[in-house]
Amino acid sequence: MAGVPATALSYLALGDSYTIGEGVPEHGRWPAQLACLLREEGIALADPRIIATTGWTTDELMWGIDGAEPLGEWDFVTLLIGVNNQYRGRSAIEYRGEFETLLQRALRFARGRAERVMVLSIPDWGVTPFVKTAKAAPQAIAAEIDAYNAAAQVVCEAHGVAFVDVTPISRERGGDAEMLADDGLHPSAAMYAQWTALALPVARRLLGS
């Protein structure tokens, strides 16, 4: 982590392909972009420790956390999870329960400080070219993702956790060629930059608390 001061705030990013940045270089992942921009503003945030794997559902993320080295406590924690639950046809009710468990774990990692946890919404992959390969109806995907995000937002509000809605920009620009990785499904670094722009003012406020 060249250029990162030894006293930098620690950062744990939890998620799936959207956090590990499937198909983009490490510096193009949105958590890495966020940390870089915050440092440019004078907020010393370390590069993220990422617990995420492409394809993970909520329960698989829980297993991934369990299987990691003792993670200890962190100054900042982000969470983005759920698209694979939707893709596999799981219910929003099941998602809400498992998401709440994950959020509670994120809060424990953040020493119980809700003001140091940030959640991003699930983007809508139904606008991408991959939807034709999956033979799924974009309208149905959108409705299910909306239900998932509504459930997550309610849980976040109950715990006083910031919720950043990246779904609208994913729908507006997510089908553009420059906003897609080579697989035609996952976001490019350019799309992650759009998400980062939405997350930046929220993270700035949280880390100033």
- Domain 11-207: CATH architecture, name and number where available: 3-Layer(aba) Sandwich (3.40)
Q: What does the block give as tokens for 163?
A: 């919720």
pLDDT, position 135: 81
| Long-range contact set of residues 183-188: C-beta below 8 Å, sequence gap at least 24 | 183/22, 183/23, 183/130, 184/128, 184/129, 184/130, 184/133, 185/125, 185/128, 185/129, 185/130, 186/17, 186/18, 186/21, 186/22, 186/23, 186/24, 187/18, 187/24, 187/123, 188/23, 188/24, 188/28
Determine the Cα–Cα distance for residues 15 and 199; give it in Å rounded to an integer: 15
Q: The pTM is what?
A: 0.96
Condensed to tens digits (0 to 9), the pLDDT of residues 82-135 reads: 999 999 999 999 999 999 999 999 999 999 999 999 999 999 999 999 998 888
Q: Helix (H, G, I), strand (E, B), or coil: what is residue 204?
A: helix
